[in-house]
Structure 1
Amino acid sequence: MLNKQKFNFFRNWGFALQGLKEVFTNESSFKIEVYIVLALLAGIIAAPLPILHKGILSTSMLIPLAAELANSAIERTVDLVTMRYDEKAKRAKDAGSALVFMSFIITGLIWFWTFFSLFFD
């Protein structure tokens, strides 16, 4: 990384899309989460909800996907450093998994409070 190229917006978008494609292709958990998000998104669009609530629910579903991408990056980096069992490597991977778990809790709370505000406002 010594010869870092200048910033190029479109090239960077290309790298981001390559990363999404790579993780979608090689990580079954990410692929499953994408399919769940698409199914929920179809339900949100079809549901008779105010546009603000649709936006909140739709946007919140990106949180677990972003966490899964970060977890995949952590796992790949750890695997790059060492392929043998190491307690520190395990802790790093466990922290990445905890990130994904927490993202589901946060998203669940967002959904709960969004629907709570609809029915008890």
Structure 2
Amino acid sequence: MKALFRSFKYAFEGIFYCLKTQRNMRIHFIFAAGVTLAGVYFKIEMTEWLALFITFSLVITSEMFNTAIEKAVDLSTMEYDERAKVAKDVAAGAVLLNAVVAVFVGVFVFWGRLWEEVIRWMN
């Protein structure tokens, strides 16, 4: 049981490390919080919550993997190496793709509701 708690401790240390040191991780969390508040405000459906939480998870975990890959690559070489660059670029690209998908999901979930809100305010 002690080993299980220790593994959770290490996992939380990794999350907090990313939040403390990675600007983009903080940005992802801020957007996730904002979208969550919007979901509460607009009373979105359960399936929409599921889509949003899956995309939050994909973006945040890919950012964490990106950080881990960057740190491992930095540990492996102090000199410029094209393979190290490719590893870092591919990891960053994965984050970007997940973030773009998250934006599309957010637009899909909120566009109609936001438009209705704008129309309501204008009248």
TM-score bucket of the superposed structures, by smaller chain? 0.7 to 0.9
Q: Which runs of 5+ in 2 are unaligned?
A: 114-123
Q: Verify the 8 A CA contact 1:44 1:58 in the aligned structure 2.
A: no
Normalized against structure 1, the TM-score is what? 0.79
Q: Verify the 8 A CA contact 1:30 1:68 in the aligned structure 2.
A: yes
More helix by share: 2
Partner of 1:9: 4
- Larger mean CA deviation between 27-36 and 100-109 belongs to 100-109
Give the SS at the match of 1:49.
coil
Q: 1:59 to 1:46 in 2, by over 3 A?
A: farther
Pairwise mapping of residues 31-50 of structure 1 onto structure 2 (< 5 A)?
31-50=26-45
Return the alpha-carbon distance in structure 2 between the equivalents of residues 60 and 102 of structure 1. Answer: 11
The counterpart of 1:108, out of the listed 76, 90, 103, is 103
* Number of matched pairs: 113
Q: Verify the 8 A CA contact 2:18 2:67 in the aligned structure 1.
A: yes
Deviations 1:73-113 (A, max 9, x none): 00000000112211111011001111101112332344455
Return the alpha-carbon distance in structure 1 between the equivalents of residues 37 and 4 of structure 2. Answer: 31
Residue 97 (structure 1) aligned with residue 92 (structure 2): yes
- Larger mean CA deviation between 104-113 and 9-18 belongs to 104-113
Pairwise mapping of residues 21-36 of structure 1 onto structure 2 (< 5 A)?
21-36=16-31
Pairwise mapping of residues 64-83 of structure 1 onto structure 2 (< 5 A)?
64-83=59-78
Q: Verify the 8 A CA contact 1:44 1:57 in the aligned structure 2.
A: no
- Matched letter for residue 11 of structure 2: A
| RMSD over aligned Cα atoms | 2.5
Normalized against structure 2, the TM-score is what? 0.78
Q: Verify the 8 A CA contact 2:55 2:98 in the aligned structure 1.
A: no
Return the alpha-carbon distance in structure 1 between the equivalents of residues 37 and 55 of structure 2. Answer: 14
Same amino acid, percent of matched pairs: 23
Moved over 6 A (4+): none
Q: 1:105 to 1:71 in 2, by over 3 A?
A: same
Q: Verify the 8 A CA contact 2:55 2:102 in the aligned structure 1.
A: yes
Partner of 1:4: none
Return the alpha-carbon distance in structure 1 between the equivalents of residues 30 and 3 of structure 2. Answer: 31
